[in-house]
A and B are shown apart, each in its own frame.
Chain A
Amino acid sequence: SAVISQKPSRDICQRGTSLTIQCQVDSQVTMMFWYRQQPGQSLTLIATANQGSEATYESGFVIDKFPISRPNLTFSTLTVSNMSPEDSSIYLCSVARGGGAETQYFGPGTRLLVL
């Protein structure tokens, strides 16, 4: 398993501002993922953060809106830029385990409300 922490746990932000979410893992991992979870919807993968290379973004998500850093094997940040109310959601980081990354372990999430 993995112990994952996220900061902040929640925030209320104004439209047009940016928020950076931190994710810390208790052991080194190759792949870290950022998800968005909106009410009544399944988890949506935003991007995969690999150490030492650019993040890989899923369709519908762009680096200008969601820049990601991965400075080492235990830490990553996701920034939600130029926020609008539509960005209100839960943001989760996760790490993959298993030889083929068969399972994921999630952080507690960051609850974001944009006014």
Chain B
Amino acid sequence: QKEVEQDPGPLSVPEGAIVSLNCTYSNSAFQYFMWYRQYSRKGPELLMYTYSSGNKEDGRFTAQVDKSSKYISLFIRDSQPSDSATYLCAMKLPNTGNQFYFGTGTSLTVIP
């Protein structure tokens, strides 16, 4: 079983829709949760960072962590064509300098 599972999509939605992206994980010790956005031919860009459980909101983006279910989500409200990208989730254990675990990424297209 992979440490982090992410549906690769592709996901296609109309402009203005609410998008839900999800990852599940197997290691209950993960404490740090991140979402990266990667545009075509670019490196991943840190979008959201959450420590432990709960929600975090930043503009149109909301990150949720449900540690009891080992499930994290990224919601995008009022999606825009500029949100079209691949979204990668990532997780990290505490006190481990370089052990990040990435999902395979979900490809999202927002249709005008």
- A-side residues, CB < 8 A to B, are 1, 4, 6, 31, 33, 40-43, 45, 48, 56, 92, 94, 96, 100-109, 111
Contact = CB atoms under 8 A, between A and B. Distances in A.
Nearest to A92: B43
B45 A106 contact: yes
25 contacts: A6-B43, A31-B97, A31-B98, A42-B4, A42-B88, A42-B102, A43-B44, A43-B100, A43-B102, A45-B100, A48-B97, A94-B43, A96-B97, A100-B94, A101-B97, A102-B32, A102-B51, A103-B34, A103-B46, A105-B46, A107-B43, A108-B42, A109-B41, A109-B43, A111-B41
Interface size class of B (residues with CB under 8 A): 20 to 34
Given A33-B98, A45-B100, A106 B43 contact: yes
A108 B88 CA distance: 15
Contacts, number: 58
A18 B100 CA distance: 28
A114 to B, nearest CB: 18
A1 B46 contact: yes
Interface of B: 4, 8, 32, 34, 36, 41-46, 49, 51, 88, 90, 92, 94-95, 97-98, 100, 102-105
Contacts of B42: 108-109
Q: 7 tightest A-B contacts by CB?
A: A106-B43, A42-B102, A43-B102, A108-B43, A102-B32, A48-B98, A42-B104
Nearest to B39: A108
A43 B42 CA distance: 14
Contacts of A109: 41-43
A41 B104 contact: yes
A109 to B, nearest CB: 5
A1 B36 CA distance: 13
